[in-house]
Copies of this chain bind each other. A is one copy, B any other.
Amino acid sequence: MATVRAIDVRGGAGPASPLSINDSVLKPQPKPSECLVKVKAFGLNRADTLQREGRYPVPPGITNIMGSEFSGVVEEVGSDTAAAGGEDYRVGDEVFGLTYGGAYAEYVAVSKKMLLRKPAELSWQDCAAVPEVWMTALQAIHLVGEYTPSKVKSILWHAGASSVSIAGIQLSLNLASAPLKVYATTRQDAKCDFVTKQIGAHAAFNTTKSHPAADGSVGGTWADEVKRVNGGEGVDLVMDFVGAPYFAANLAVLAKDGRVVQLGVMGGTILPAGVYISSFVMKRASFVGCTLKSRDAEYQGELRDLFAETVVPKLVMGDYRCSVEKVLSWRKIEKAHGMLEGNFTMGKVVCWVD
C-alpha cells in the first residue's frame, strides 16, 4: 500500500515525546462520504499539545495523527455525492475545513460536509488557521452560551489574546444587541493593550494584578474590577479556558442568570478550599462545558454552516481578522508546539507542508 508523510509522536504519546516527520505512514483511504485532500497548511491547537502528551484520548475510529484543521487541494472524491450537502467537489478544488484528526500530514481524509471552498482572497495559511478557532467561538456564544440579545448585555473572554478569544471578541462586537459590552482578561499588560487597541474589546483586565475591592480597599480580584467597570453590574456570559484558578471569581463576576462557558481547564482542574457556591442558587448561575472535537458530525456540520454563512464573508472582506501570528515549515513542528506551550503567541501558529 502507498505510504506518505505525516507528523509522528516518537515513542508514543507522553509529556516529553519528540515530534518528527514519519515518511512511511499509510496513505488515508477516503470513505464514500469523504474527500482526500492534499494538505497545503495546517493550524495548531492547544488540544494537539494535550494529545501529544497523552492527555487527550483519541476516540475509537479516529486516526492517531494530530491536527484538526487544514487547507489544501482535493485529490480524490468519495462516491457518495449526496454527502456534500449540495456541493459538487472535484479533483483539484481548493478547500479548507475541520476534521476529527489527521491534518498534520501530507494527506487527510475529510467528511465532505466539513469542507469549505477556499476563497481566492484568503491565503492557504489563513484558511488553515480559521476553522477550529471560529467554530469554537461560535459554539461558545450561540450553542453553549445560548446568547439571546434580550438577556445578554455583557460578555467576558478570558485568555483574551488566545486565538479563540480574538475570534470571540470580534464576533461579540458584531452581535446585534448594541450596546453589548465586550471585556477580556489576559495575564500581561501588552496583551491587554492588544485586545483593546487591536481587536476592539471595550476593556481588558490583567488577572495577575490586584485590584481595588468593592469597598475600595486593596486586595480585590479582577472580578471586582470588571464589575466596577461594568457599572456595578455582573457579567452575563463568561468564556473561560483557565478552570480551577478562576472558578470562584467566575461565579463572583456573574450577573443574575449569568453563564460560564467552560472551554478548557488549562490553568488547573482541582479547586482550592473555600469556593463559595451559593451563587448557583442565589444568581441562578450556570456552568456549562464546551468542547468541539468530541461533538458528532451533525453538530459540527451545523457549526460549519454557521461559519460559512456568518464568518467567511467577513474574513474575505477584511472585517474579521485571521490573526495568524507565525507560519513555519512542518519540519519545525517541535518549535511550533513550544510556542503554543510557552503562551508567547497572540494569534495562531500555522505549519506549511513542504
Contacts and interface: CB of A to CB of B under 8 A. Distances in A.
A297 interface: no
A47 to B, nearest CB: 10
Interface string A177-197: 000000000000000000000
A269 interface: yes
A283 interface: yes
B284 A291 contact: yes
A151 B47 CA distance: 26
Given A271-B275, A277-B265, A277-B270, A286 B284 contact: no
A271 B269 contact: no
13 contacts: A243-B277, A262-B280, A269-B278, A270-B277, A272-B273, A273-B274, A275-B275, A280-B287, A280-B289, A284-B288, A285-B288, A286-B286, A286-B288
B285 A289 contact: yes
A263 interface: yes
Contacts of A291: 281, 284
Ranked 8 nearest A-B pairs via Cβ: A273-B273, A284-B289, A269-B278, A286-B288, A280-B289, A262-B280, A271-B275, A287-B287
A281 B286 contact: no
A89 interface: no
B275 A284 contact: no
Q: Which one of A265, A274, A289 has the greatest number of beta carbons of chain B within 10 Å?
A: A289
Contacts of A288: 280, 284-286, 288
Contacts of A275: 270-271, 275
A122 interface: no
A247 interface: yes
A348 to B, nearest CB: 21
Interface string A187-210: 000000000000000000000000
